[in-house]
Amino acid sequence: MSTVYINSASCISVQDTLNDNILQNLTPRNSSNIIKAIEPNYKEFIPPAMIRRMSKTVKMSSVASNYALKEAGIEQPDAIIVGTGMGCSQDSEKFLKNVIDNHEEFLTPTFFIQSTHNTVAGQIALGLQCHAYNFTYVNTSSSLEFSLLDAQLQINDGEAENVLVGSTDEQTDRTMELYCLNNTIKKETDLPVDYFNSTTNGVIWGEGASFFVVGKNKTENSYAKLKNIQISNKVELNEVKDFIQNFLAQNNLSHNHIDAVILGFSGDANSDMYYTKAMDLFPDSAQLYYKHLSGEFNTASGFSTFIACHILKEQQIPEVMMINTEKKESVKNILLYNHLGGDDHSLVLLEKA
């Protein structure tokens, strides 16, 4: 497939990523096992009457997509593609609670209608009065990667020139309780987390929404070239190096061509071994990690893609993300490697625009 460009990038996360000087103001968040996104003043973007009926993920996505379109100078995208792992779980919980409280009788349909995963993409389209291709991917930790891949296909097939691509996930009280019970989330006694020497299982859970405009043509605002994406549901520990090397070979690259590799270390002793294996391939590259800044969640790779875009555009690598001391004078190629709990492995190759 031919190269496409990421022409804008916007993110709402547990960091203050809507403001300027993003790379200089990143702060580790490793002392609480559940960390919440820094939300903007929604009244500046959404009519107050609508805010009441929107779940958190819809509100975050509406604002993030607004920023992304504005930065790209696009009023109407040719397609809207959103990836999410949990969807509108806040409204799902409200609907299920209504079912129980009302003994399955006299239920209002509102929460059910708003609980579907494609609510986010639908609400963005309604707000823009956009009748173009509208699709939602629900593939746990590779939801954004599938969305980017679809955008690349839409552009390559001549179906679109500018595609709004996003990823979003929210926290809900009941889901977080369940994640604590089954040890998906770290116990309070295991905090703060040492991301490289963790002997305990579980992660710090975050949330957020990241949106990008992917275009056919390079613009003055372009952050990066989206070169290629690879996704695999299962990768054995002894297959990690081949998985990465084969991907690089497909793109006529070797490990020496990768200036920075961004790894999804989450502090989970069971699954971080994949990233440790990957590190061995890149002794001369800047090795970076990011989930101590964003927390772990289904679409956390949206945060790493957003940060990678800024690294390529600003040609700066934040000290707070560095694993080793290797730092290239210029950053041309960045490789992103992510999975969630050892499943759904993804590789994304970005190049300086």
Q: pLDDT tens, 51-77?
A: 888 889 999 999 999 999 999 999 999
Cα separation, 117 vs 196, in Å, equals 34
pLDDT at 119: 92
- pLDDT of residue 12 exceeding 80, the answer is yes
DSSP category for residue 22: T
Write out the H or E segment, with its range, that includes residue 176: helix 173-181
Q: What is the pTM of this model?
A: 0.95
Is the Cα torsion angle 166, 230, 310, 326 positive or negative in sign? positive
CA dist., res. 344 & res. 86, Å (int): 15
> Pairing mode, if any, of strands 343-352 and 224-232?
antiparallel
Domains present along the chain, CATH in parentheses: 4-215 (3.40.47.10), 225-352 (3.40.47.10)
d(CA 144, CA 300): 9
Q: pLDDT at residue 108 above 80?
A: no
Report the DSSP beta bridge partners of residue 343: 340
- How many residues appear in the chain? 353
pLDDT band at 250 (very low <50, low <70, confident <90, very high): very high
Which residues are bridge partners to 232 per DSSP? Answer: 345
User: Radius of gyration (Cα) for the chain, nearest Å?
Assistant: 20
Phi, psi (rounded to 5 degrees) for 267: 85, 5
Q: Is the per-residue pLDDT at 186 higher than 80?
A: yes
Check pLDDT > 90 for residue 106: no
Instruction: Please report which confidence band the pLDDT of residue 143 belongs to, taking 50, 70 and 90 as the band edges.
Output: very high
**HSE (side-chain half, CA atoms, 13 Å) at 33:** 19
Tens digit of each residue's pLDDT (9 = 90 or more) over 278-329? 999 999 999 999 999 999 999 999 999 999 999 999 999 999 999 999 988 8
**Residue 92: its pLDDT value, please?**
84
Given a cut of 80, is residue 110 above it in pLDDT? no
> If you write DSSP's letter for every residue of 72-122 in order, what string do you get?
HT-SS-SEEEEE-SS-SHHHHHHHHHHHHHTTT-S--SHHHHHTSTTHHHH
Count CB neighbours of 182 within 10 A: 8
pLDDT tens-digit map of 336-346: 999 999 999 99
Residues 6 or more apart in contact with residue 157 via CB below 8 angstroms? none
Q: What is the pLDDT of residue 114?
A: 77
